[in-house]
Structure 1
Amino acid sequence: MLTAAIALATLLGPRPDSASAQEADAAEQPTYTNPIIPAIGPADPDVIQHEGTYYLYPTDDGRSYDVYTSTDLVRWMKGPKVFEPDGARRLWAPDVFRDPTDGKFYLYYTWDFTVGVAVGDGPLGPFKKKADLFERAIDAEMFRDDDGRYYLYYVEDVRGADPFRLRIRVQPMASPTEKLGESTLLLEPTEPWETKSGVVNEGPVMLKRDGTYYLIYSGTGAATLNYAVGYATSDSPTGPFKKYEGNPIISRGDGVYGPGHGSVVRDAAGELWHVYHQQKDGTRQWNRFLCLDPLWFDDDGVLHGRATRGTPQPAPAVDAE
């Protein structure tokens, strides 16, 4: 229909009220609307891209990890279970990393406040448990630096503290499954927005740009409407990190509640996208679904983000077929 309309306009000549080429392009631009996965339950998503397909691993039923697949970051198909350990009662916040040195896929799991690693031959698994790595810990994130060194970011559960709190540490790794030396404390919840409904820094995501390390994290209680996202920067993967003074960069407002705990992935044009969860409303805790919105840097290297719901947004770029 659009092609026919353009041909007719050519025959008739330009009209005073005809749309400009830019307006026509904007009208044709694909859009999406949050939530991208509206089912209540999936949360804490980790997304990777492999051979033209995106793979999304969320917290779900607490007993296993499922995988969702997509070619455009918007339309997702639920796939098989990829990790189902015997006796799992609380399983959440997965992270999947493909090691370019051996081609294997490594799944970092949180199982009853223990962080461990499982190994698979492909992104669909199945993943087989390799080792437990940390106790009293959650929310692992593997990062391989440009020099080939490995760093595992995770959240320490500080039991017995008054008040109870969660804080972020980093563990240098000799390989995806082997520790190297001691861990380092990076972030503690110190800011008012991080302590509003729980004293929490969690959900670490590492992003490197122009030699600067951006540690994206979520703050305050994950089950609350005040959950939000901030970041800290350093010139080293092991810190020290300085929290951005304008935090949080993503928070509640305009019909959005409790945005946080996501991952960052690039589209076909190289633009950054944040895949994360929101609270549907305040009727009950853990009332979450999955969403997608852009992240971007300004000319000063400041990281920006937003959270949307229910309104069409420009969609990620996809490869031409």
Structure 2
Amino acid sequence: MLKSLTFLAFLLLTNSYAQENNPIFKGWYADPEGIIFDTTYWIYPTFSAPYDSQVHLDAFSSSNLTEWTKHERILDTTAIKWAKRALWAPSIIKKENKYFLFFGANDIQSNNELGGIGVAVSDKPEGPFKDYLGKPLIDKFHNGAQPIDQFVFKDKNGNYYLYYGGWGHCNVAQLNKDFTGFIPFEDGTIFKEITPENYVEGPFMFIKDDKYYFMWSEGGWTGPDYSVAYAIADSPFGPFKREAKILQQDAAIATGAGHHSVIHEKGSDDYYMVYHRRPLNETDQNSREICIDKMYFDKDGFIKPVKISNEGVRANPLNKNRR
């Protein structure tokens, strides 16, 4: 008996036993964007509920990836007069001491409806956010892309690009300096289609070793085939040739794993995939929760398949891994 207690104490002290850190916080959420501001990790997800109940956004902050603080209703439809429902897939970026939150609203099905992609602004990452434009930034279907699932990306040269699109089409457009509109490309077009093979929704981009890693979700979000794939290119405009599927459900753990983002601390070798999935005992399409698992690369820079887990990741305080 004493020997067993001693071994248990050893495991507790070394933290080598299996912890269950997934999901990372309570509640039904989806479409998480993970990002670092100063010395804090942040996650901005969709509130996962029927469309008419999706009228607000919450945010979560952490100093170590395992202990999270909830910031309630950082944005809601009372602050966005044109948004009525289906507040989706927030994407955030800091520019000149302001935090710009891009979001989708109203789930428009045609050019004759009010809605699309909007922008909100705040002086703090926890909000409150207010409507920046008083109208949608994108309110029409361009190149067949439903105006949802936006991701704002800062390139190496300082340009800001917005990647977005549902209904199997993905566009990129260059934001102007104050985020009130777009700068046309050299050929005069504003929205350039970059849709890779099997693309459905949820675009995401990051740079590693001067290569552009473009990622997206495939399959149907309510079904077992929901997943994440990626491509690598030399330019933010591609061409994006599909490499492989790197995130998908595990029948022993959870279903519907997808619509992700990637967190990476500058100067660190650690990459984390933040995504949503559905517990095995849940059949409601909106019963989704946020999880984090480690993402690895092989010696040639290709992403290895991410193994979804209940353990998730261990505490990783910022600024500890910088070279």
TM-score in same-fold range (> 0.5): yes
Shift of 1:64: 0.8
Report the more deviating stretch, 104-113 or 276-285.
276-285
CA distance in 1, matches of 2:106, 2:168: 15
Q: Where has structure 1 moved over 6 Å in runs of 4 or more? A: 23-26
Counterpart secondary structure, 2:157: coil
**Residue type of the alignment partner of 2:118:** G
Q: Which amino acid aligns with 1:179?
A: F
TM-score (norm 2): 0.79
Question: 1:297: which partner in 2?
Answer: 297
What is the number of equivalent residue pairs in this alignment? 279
User: Superposed, which structure 2 residues align to 1:252-267 within 5 Å?
Assistant: 252-253=249-250, 254-266=252-264
The CA distance in 1 between the partners of 2:97 and 2:16, in whole Å, is: 36
- Contact 1:256/1:307 (8 A) holds in 2: no
- Counterpart in 1 of 2:151? 141
- Conservation of the 8 A alpha-carbon contact between 1:32 and 1:74: no
Q: How does 1:4-153 map to 2 (within 5 A)?
A: 27-28=14-15, 31-39=19-27, 41-60=28-47, 61-86=53-78, 88-99=84-95, 102-113=96-107, 114-131=116-133, 132-135=136-139, 136-153=146-163
Q: How has the CA–CA distance of structure 1 residues 319 and 171 changed in structure 2, closer, same or farther, with 3 Å as cutoff?
A: closer
Give the structure 2 partner of residue 178 of structure 1.
181
How many angstroms does 1:150 deviate by? 1.0
Q: Which has the higher strand share?
A: 1
Larger Rg: 1
Please give the per-residue CA displacement for 1:32-83, whole angstroms capped at 9, x wherever unaligned.
Answer: 53111242x2111112222212221111151011111111112212113111
Query: Residues 187-266 of structure 1 correspond to what in structure 2 (within 5 A)?
Result: 187-190=195-198, 201-244=200-243, 247-253=244-250, 254-266=252-264
Measure, in 2, the Cα distance between the counterparts of 1:320 and 1:206. 23
**Partner amino acid for 1:240?**
P
* Deviation for aligned residue 1:316: 4.7
Q: RMSD of aligned C-alpha atoms?
A: 2.7
Distance 1:154 1:320, change over 3 A: closer
Q: Which amino acid aligns with 1:301?
A: G
Instruction: Give 1:289 deviation, angstroms.
Output: 0.7
Contact 1:226 1:251 (8 Å CA) reproduced: yes
Would the aligned equivalents of 2:54 and 2:85 in 1 still touch at CA under 8 Å? yes
**TM-score in terms of structure 1 length:** 0.79
Which residue is 1:9 aligned to?
none
- Whole-Å Cα distance in 2 between the matches of residues 314 and 262 of structure 1? 16
- CA distance in structure 2 between the aligned counterparts of 1:52 and 1:210, rounded to whole angstroms: 23
